[in-house]
Structure 1
Amino acid sequence: MTAPTPTPYQQQPMGGGYTSPIPVRSTHLGHALASEWTKIRTVRSTIWTIGVMFVLVVGIGLLVAVQVDDREFVDAPFTIPALFGLLLGQICIITLGVLVVSSEYGTGMIRTTFTASPQRWRVLAAKMIVFFAVSFSALVVAIGLVGAATAGIHSDAGSTSGGDWARGVLGGALYVSLLGLLAVAVGSMLRHSAGAITAMLGVVLLPSIIGPIMGISQSLQAISDKLIEYNAPNSLSALFSIPMSGDEGGNGMKQLALLAVVTAAAMAGSFALLNKRDV
């Protein structure tokens, strides 16, 4: 009997094996970024959350801008009307931050993602980078539109300084984007959409509720003052030059710095937990 002729896909002896014409390249962070960008721009949750955020920030901001008098902007920045919509719009960014990572755990697709990219830190880092870029850009546009429209409506009220514009537009967008980045880290650690969103709502809302209540007790006054000063609504208000607490000289930079430290710590914890779990 004669031996069967090997097919082109069978291993050939003595180095005559099949060589794929497709070049083999080592993977890097750029590939993960491209993958996450494709995900975030094609899912409906991104369109809905960013869209609702725009409606809230721009819609409420313009309603406030047309209702107030020119005298209100003599010593106040034109970006202030955007604050009223941003206090609600931040919930949309937080929700998107959680869904960026938790939705894949909910559907089980995270197994496929980690199979395609075994370097888990690369996947989570790409999610965070893409989310931050999308949310920060959208917030800058939304706040900037309200500020520009307010400046046009109240053109006789004077002009806002460059520092006020930067704090309102860039500072406000950065603060809310960091809250969203914190939500990504919490979503990665909890791996449950409802639980992570609830936890983030507690972080944003509870300090502003508990702070005044704790102020009733004299022994808890110091803690109450800190909760009132550093809660999310007051921090955003300070960045827009109208702090709700008694710190009239504050510009929101220390609140922004504290949030950056807390977010960095949460991100470090999410990366540490990611490598210790099976999935």
Structure 2
Amino acid sequence: MIATIKAEWRKSRLRPGFLIGAGVIAGVTILVYAANWYLALHPLATRGGDRAIVSLATLYPDQFVNNVMGAAFPIGAAMAIVLGALFAGSEYGWGTVKTMFTQRPGRLTVWAGRMFVFGVWMLIMTFVLFGVGAATSVVVALFQGHAITGPAAVDLAKGIGAIWLVFMVNGSIGLALGVLIRQPAAALGIGLTYVLAVEIIAVRIINLINNGQFKNVTEQFVNQNATALTQSFTSPAFGVISPPTISAEHAVLVLAAWGIGLTIVAAGLLRLRDVT
């Protein structure tokens, strides 16, 4: 297992897809902060000038954990799907799957090592998100002459764990599709279509049936729970916000179940199917 992890890390540590993904996450985080900072300082640009739709208090370091959630989802989740599809599907296009599976260790060991390395990359992207968010919030505080105080350590840990889980589950969608379809382009296309369109349409249709009688079904979808989990990170600085109908605890359990289930399905396909 250790040798497999080392080999996978050696292959992926300079892989352009992961480096570009981390760069996109950093860029989106800066863009979100810049846009919100502008809106907070220029109320005339919004709502006819009666008041700003973004409060400066939400951009300071003590609120950065709550603020980066908007950058992490859905754009970060979509990026995780793309990286998962590339990570799993590209090996088939390169023809390296045969080489991996005809040598030791076994298929499941190889898959476990690949999942571990992918999880590390999702953690790196999470750290990039939070690191850039923290740095940008400090810049805002310095320019506004505000005291620099960080969030509580427990809130920071919860935020990192939540975003890593969201990234991993969406990445697992890409991984499973990459293994199923055996090519990255179709896998990432189907994954993005599902997350950005199919799931949204399905949720709306199900909620219309018998005045929402089957709403509990929609509460088991991946990104319904990802949305609820990210929205659970808020504070009075963001104003009065309606709490999500799905609890954070429920969201964590459902997302974990999806991630584990997709990983097992992909492992089963690798174990049982011919690689040719």
Q: Same fold (TM over 0.5)?
A: yes
Counterpart secondary structure, 1:201: helix
Match for residue 199 of structure 1? 190
Match for residue 218 of structure 1? 210
Distance of aligned partners of 1:163 and 1:43 in 2 relative to their CA distance in 1, 3 Å threshold:
closer
Q: For structure 1, which segment, 202-211 or 98-107, has the greater mean C-alpha deviation from structure 2 after superposition?
A: 202-211
Matched, 1:32 2:4: yes
Matched, 1:140 2:131: no
Match for 2:203: what amino acid? G
Match for 1:57: what amino acid? T
Match for 2:36: what amino acid? V
Match for residue 117 of structure 1? 104
Tell me by how many angstroms 1:115 deviates: 2.3
Contact preservation (8 Å) 2:165, 2:255: no
CA distance in 2, matches of 1:225, 1:185: 21
Larger Rg: 1
Which of 67, 75, 82 aligns to 2:68? It is: 82
Root-mean-square deviation (Å): 3.3
CA distance in 1, matches of 2:103, 2:23: 31
Matched, 1:100 2:93: no
Which of 27, 30, 34 aligns to 1:58? It is: 30
Q: Which runs of 4+ in 1 moved over 6 A?
A: none
Q: For structure 1, which segment, 130-139 or 229-238, has the greater mean C-alpha deviation from structure 2 after superposition?
A: 229-238
Tell me by how many angstroms 1:180 deviates: 1.2
Match for residue 26 of structure 1? none
Matched, 1:150 2:122: no
Q: Which has the higher contact order (CA 8 A, sep 6+)?
A: 2
Matched, 1:208 2:195: no
Tell me by how many angstroms 1:162 deviates: 3.7
Which of 165, 171, 185 aligns to 1:174? It is: 165
Taking structure 1 as the reference length, what is the TM-score of the superposition?
Answer: 0.74
Cα deviation 1:99-146 (Å, max 9, x = unaligned)? 112101012121122223351111111111001111212212322431
CA distance in 2, matches of 1:178, 1:258: 10
- Matched residues, percent identical? 22
What are the ranges of 5 or more consecutive residues in structure 2 without an aligned counterpart? 41-54, 236-240
Contact preservation (8 Å) 2:225, 2:246: no
Matched, 1:252 2:245: no
CA distance in 1, matches of 2:242, 2:219: 11
What are the ranges of 5 or more consecutive residues in structure 1 without an aligned counterpart? 1-28
Higher share of residues assigned helix: 2
Counterpart secondary structure, 2:64: coil
CA distance in 1, matches of 2:149, 2:8: 44
CA distance in 2, matches of 1:249, 1:39: 42
Distance of aligned partners of 1:190 and 1:241 in 2 relative to their CA distance in 1, 3 Å threshold:
farther
Contact preservation (8 Å) 2:195, 2:223: no
Tell me by how many angstroms 1:34 deviates: 1.2
Distance of aligned partners of 1:57 and 1:149 in 2 relative to their CA distance in 1, 3 Å threshold:
closer
CA distance in 1, matches of 2:9, 2:33: 29
Matched, 1:70 2:66: no
Match for residue 25 of structure 1? none
CA distance in 1, matches of 2:90, 2:222: 34
